[in-house]
Amino acid sequence: MEKSVFISRNLSPDSPFRIQLEAADFMVTGRSLLDFKAIVFTDFPSTDWIFFYSRKAVEFFLTQIQNLPTDLKIAAYGSGTAEALKIYKVTPDFVGTGEGISTFAAFTRIAGHQPTVLFPQALHSRRTIENLAGDQIKTFPLVVYDNVPRKNIEVSTATFLVFTSPLNVKAYFDHFKLAKNQKVIVIGKTTGAELDTHGIVDFEVAKTPSEEGLVVTLLDYLNRDCL
């Protein structure tokens, strides 16, 4: 099997996905299939918590404010979002699993009864936690960025296609079919659900919603296939 992989994310030089797979002799290509732009906000409500769904939510919220209020707590949807917060020297008080139901259950246990929660998010956010909240959380959505599919997306011939969000899946498979020799890996169940809408049912879900989890899942699959 050819050891080549495409991931729908722009990879930094110190990306663990890039470093670990190149060390395993993979040809790695990382490229987001989306364009991002800030949506300017001038104010936001005072709440008990700020809950970040994604790395981009962290970036586009924190780069538009001077200082975080000191009397609130910070939540991250998964480990990747938590890592993004650390770049801005913010330590989250809660880190979810990257999966909706389990993250919601764990968050409500720690946040208590009807906390007020600000959700910085994309214009087209699925609002996973908010939709699960019912009357258990008082939610305040704040749109801080937009993400739209890029034009002129190119087909990938890599053996492994790795997708990091539902919109990246849509951007790719709205234009291209999966080749017979290709294997798909997704960062989480929500991204996998988008694959289902494109008729792709044979895929692997990362063991944890992070670059490290994607690497482990890919290498595990490769080892099984070679047995």
The residues with which 27 forms a beta bridge, in sequence order, are: 4
| CB-CB neighbours of 146 under 10 Å | 16
Q: What pLDDT was estimated at residue 104? A: 96
User: Between the CA of residue 42 and those of 66, 96, 144, 167, what are the distances in Å?
Assistant: 11, 28, 10, 27
Mean pLDDT of 105-120: 96
* Whole-prediction pTM: 0.80
Q: What pLDDT was estimated at residue 157? A: 96
Alpha carbon 24 to chain centroid, angstroms: 24
Distance CA(204)–CA(160), nearest Å, equals: 11
Model confidence band, residue 98 (pLDDT cutoffs 50, 70, 90): confident
* Residues 5-23 pLDDT 10s: 999 999 988 899 999 999 9
Which of 205, 199, 202, 201 lies closest to 218 in space, CA to CA? 205
Q: What pLDDT was estimated at residue 226? A: 61
* Residues 146-202 pLDDT 10s: 998 998 899 999 999 999 999 999 999 999 999 999 999 999 888 999 999 999 999
Q: What pLDDT was estimated at residue 208? A: 87
| CB-CB neighbours of 134 under 10 Å | 10
Model confidence band, residue 209 (pLDDT cutoffs 50, 70, 90): confident
Q: What pLDDT was estimated at residue 177? A: 96
The string of DSSP codes covering the chain is ---EEEESSPPPTT-HHHHHHHHTT-EEEE--SEEEEE---S-----SEEEE-SHHHHHHHHTT-S---TTSEEEESSHHHHHHHHHTT---SEE--SSHHHHHHHHHHHH-SS-EEEEEEETT---HHHHHHTTSSEEEEEEEEEEEEPSSPPP---SEEEE-SHHHHHHHHTT-PPPTT-EEEESSHHHHHHHHHTT---EEE-SSSSHHHHHHHHHHHHHHHH-
Mean pLDDT of 206-213: 89
Average pLDDT of the chain?
94
